Structure 1
Amino acid sequence: MPTAEPAAPRLAHPVVDADGHIVEALPVLTDVIRKVAGDHAADHFLGSSATYASRSGTDRLTALTGDQRRLGAWIAPWWSLPGDTLDRATAFLPGLLYDRMDAIGLDFTVLYPSVGLVAAGHPDAGIRTGACRGINTYLADLTAGLGDRMTAAAVIPTHTPDEALAELDHAVGTLGFKAVLLNNVVARTEPQPWYDVLALDSLHDYDPVWQRCTDLGVAVAVHAPTMGIGLRGSSTRYAYNHIGTFAAGGEAFAKALVFGGVAHRFPRLNFAFLEGGATWGVQLAADLAGHFDKRGGPNIAGLDPARIDPDLWADLFARHGGPSLAEPGLAAALRGQADNPPPELDDFRDSGIREAADIARLFDGFYFGCEADDPLVAWAYDNPLGVTLKPVLGSDIGHWDVTDMRHVVHEAYELVERGHLTADRFRAFTCDDPIRLHGRMNPEFFVGTPVAEYAAGLLADG
């Protein structure tokens, strides 16, 4: 058992965990998938990923044998669960977490699936949708009766809008979920291998999905790793692949939401980019402002080669070109170099951005999941842009990142003790913005919980 620790910091406000985890019991989950989706989905799903295989030799889990390392094939996560006995059991048992909530220092937590990331990304449609349906059924059963302190998030497959809509309706309408996790990076194979980020240049129109989330009152939370994509594909070092993986997936989706106009067209819809921190959000806001200033709206006209004065251009080449650039007609040809525009010139045409200040308006619906030991949360509040982002505490309890669940709130509060966050900003990080993330979508989200009165007052104030 863990050694005794001092109680969590005394705070004048609740602590709401925007991103904890349940670790699914795979033998039981397999039975549930078999019941709701049939033998094919059950028999083929769990063996599709080495992440949840085992070298322990039990026949209740998929066996992993031999050395999986192979040049050109990325190494899957391994030893990804807590090393402490009590914490590891807590990851599997929401009822145990429920009993430990006060000791951990959390008033309420939103728990996301672990195997769900594998399910939502499975390339086979029947296995993918069946596994997601099974996971959601499993999570609903496992957390029944615990809703005053926690809620699980349903996993929503997104290879097509239709499958997303079907599972949204079932998870929220039939099973009663209040939170959802969408797959935001879909691997496609046609017409060639590529990654679809749903909100820009997609194979499908996902506006019906964003509208359904708005109508159902659920925030769009995303958590897609990018391990194995591009330069994050080491065959021997999991840590190499893991560092930055959720930030990269979140940034790709956030950029798509802006350039594809989703954030502009659905101003009531909140988005949560989990486990990636907030520093990439600061960088994205800066890059959007810088690119808009040079290339957005009417500003792109300043780069049109037609603006070049042909006489001055020719004179400059004649006087300064020297023998190597004195070839007749060369100056005229170079005047058109890189004159290669697409039919539509304004990359920001769908974004709703008409001036740099509009970026802050779009970011008002963006929430950035930061773990308790993230030392850079303060950058979301103090940055040269003068833009305040919305970091939200994501404990990540249930995974290897948390070495002792009782330390989560302590670690987060060190930002205050070290002078990086004020008490008001700590309140926003650990309480107010996690409440706004879900409560602005669904004012009833926290009814019946220990934070109900606080949440009602906060949401009434806007």
Structure 2
Amino acid sequence: MSQADLIVDADSHVEETPAIWECLDAAYQERKPIPVRIDNLPGFAKRNVFWVVEGKILPKLWGPGAVLYSTPPYSGYAQDKPFTLESQALLDVEARLKDMDRAGVDVQVLYPTCFLDTVTDDLAFEGALMRAYNTWMAGTCGQRPDRLKWTAQVPLRDVPEAIREMRRARDLGAVGIAIKGTAGEKMLHYQELTPFWAEAEQLGLPVCVHVGWSHPGLKQSCDTIYGALVLSFTVPVLMGFFSVIAGGLLDRFPRLKVGFLEAGTEWVPYLIDRMDHYYGSSAIRYGCPRPARRPSDYLRDGRVYFTCEADERLLPQVVALVGEGQIMASADMPHGEAREESFREIRERADLGERVKQKMFGENAIRFYGL
């Protein structure tokens, strides 16, 4: 099969198990996350397995700061998924490849699950956990590097350590650097993060801004899972988009590529219109730099990418706005929103041209990740 015919899933996941934490540095082995089962939880009977991290139960399912994910994958909920434990956790590479074959996917780019949340506020420990994850992913995906690609986690709140890990991960085979839409409460264009962006550009690795609960204030504001999924999980991606374009990152780093993942695309026209509207205001000229061009002018430069959802009604309009070369398809396997048929659903849409679909299915992801 030629590279032009490859079907590339630009964003799927691994559900972490204790096997990953065996790669922790010796100094942190006694602090490694431990799975625990808690039965008969009101409203969450099947979500009955959690991580214990530094005495905290994760994920937190109730009250302010609520989040939702299904690692470790031993719960009743995980067992009901159409994927085996071995596939969800990547404990058996061949099991995942079989699921990919069933979905019609040739190559899958993998992201974590637990790091969509802030696992710890101990930055040194966070860095150690991410190093363990990257080490494990390199070894596991290395069993089938032709089909399994991975993006590296780096502790963005600790810029020097993030840079060290970016370099190590590049040497281990990572195809991108995965971050969330903020570095804690700091937006991505803040000056102290400049060395991170400079290093990403120097290494030639795309920065992949994934949905996740990165902003503590937003996270704490949502006291239900509904709010957590709609708002605190997703809004940081929009904040990251603002930083990349309106914060001048594309001006300062002209070879940088940035992708925005798992938030869909229908928010892009709204936000870019708002940014264009206020770009012309004299008020923003004082006290802060502004981008060299209108925000919408950056969309077609070929450096800003998005993953789409198969059922987005406005997808044709987004393609017209952004350009057909910067939208990527994904399956989100094996998460709760995983859609094995997402590529088929896009293929059956009559409102997208065949050439557009072909680019979404492979060409755009190949170019973004440098596959």
1:401 alignment partner in structure 2: 337
The structure 1 residue matched to 2:209, chosen from 213, 222, 233, is 222
1:411 aligns with 2:345: yes
| Cα RMSD (Å) | 3.2
- Aligned partner of residue 221 in structure 1, secondary structure: strand
The structure 1 residue matched to 2:83, chosen from 86, 100, 103, is 86
The structure 2 residue matched to 1:75, chosen from 62, 66, 79, is 66
1:435 aligns with 2:366: yes
Q: Aligned partners of 2:296, 2:309: CA distance in 1, in Å? A: 29
Change (3 A) 1:421 1:142: same
2:353 alignment partner in structure 1: 422
1:369 aligns with 2:307: yes
Is there any run of 5+ residues in structure 1 with no aligned partner, and where?
A: 1-11, 188-194, 301-340, 440-444, 446-462
2:103 alignment partner in structure 1: 104
Q: Aligned partners of 1:265, 1:276: CA distance in 2, in Å? A: 25
Q: Aligned partners of 2:49, 2:228: CA distance in 1, in Å? A: 30
Q: Aligned partners of 2:81, 2:226: CA distance in 1, in Å? A: 20
Change (3 A) 1:345 1:422: same
Range with greater deviation from structure 2 (92-101 or 164-173): 92-101
Deviations 1:395-421 (A, max 9, x none): 11011112x63x23223323x2xx221
Q: Aligned partners of 2:311, 2:108: CA distance in 1, in Å? A: 17
Change (3 A) 1:78 1:277: closer
- Give the TM-score, by structure 1 length: 0.67
2:142 alignment partner in structure 1: 144
Number of residue-to-residue matches in the alignment: 348
Deviations 1:383-441 (A, max 9, x none): xxx55372211211011112x63x23223323x2xx221112212222222122122xx
**Rg larger in 1 or in 2?**
1
Range with greater deviation from structure 2 (212-221 or 85-94): 85-94
Identity score, percent: 21
Q: Aligned partners of 1:291, 1:59: CA distance in 2, in Å? A: 47
2:9 alignment partner in structure 1: 17
Q: What does residue range 34-433 of structure 1 map to in structure 2 within 5 Å?
A: 36-39=25-28, 42-44=29-31, 46=33, 54-55=37-38, 62=52, 71=63, 73-77=64-68, 79=70, 82=78, 83-93=80-90, 94-118=93-117, 122-173=120-171, 175-187=172-184, 195-200=185-190, 202=191, 204=192, 206-226=193-213, 229-230=217-218, 233-235=221-223, 237-293=224-280, 295=281, 300=282, 345=286, 349-353=289-293, 358-361=297-300, 364-382=302-320, 386-388=321-323, 390-402=326-338, 405=340, 407-414=341-348, 416=349, 419-433=350-364
Deviations 1:178-228 (A, max 9, x none): 2221244222xxxxxxx102213x5x1x22222221222210001142486
1:305 alignment partner in structure 2: none
Q: Does structure 1 retain, via aligned residues, the 8 Å contact 2:211–2:236?
A: yes
- Give the TM-score, by structure 2 length: 0.82
Change (3 A) 1:247 1:61: closer
1:328 alignment partner in structure 2: none
- Aligned partner of residue 98 in structure 1, secondary structure: helix
Q: Does structure 2 retain, via aligned residues, the 8 Å contact 1:288–1:359?
A: no
2:74 alignment partner in structure 1: none
Q: Aligned partners of 1:116, 1:95: CA distance in 2, in Å? A: 24
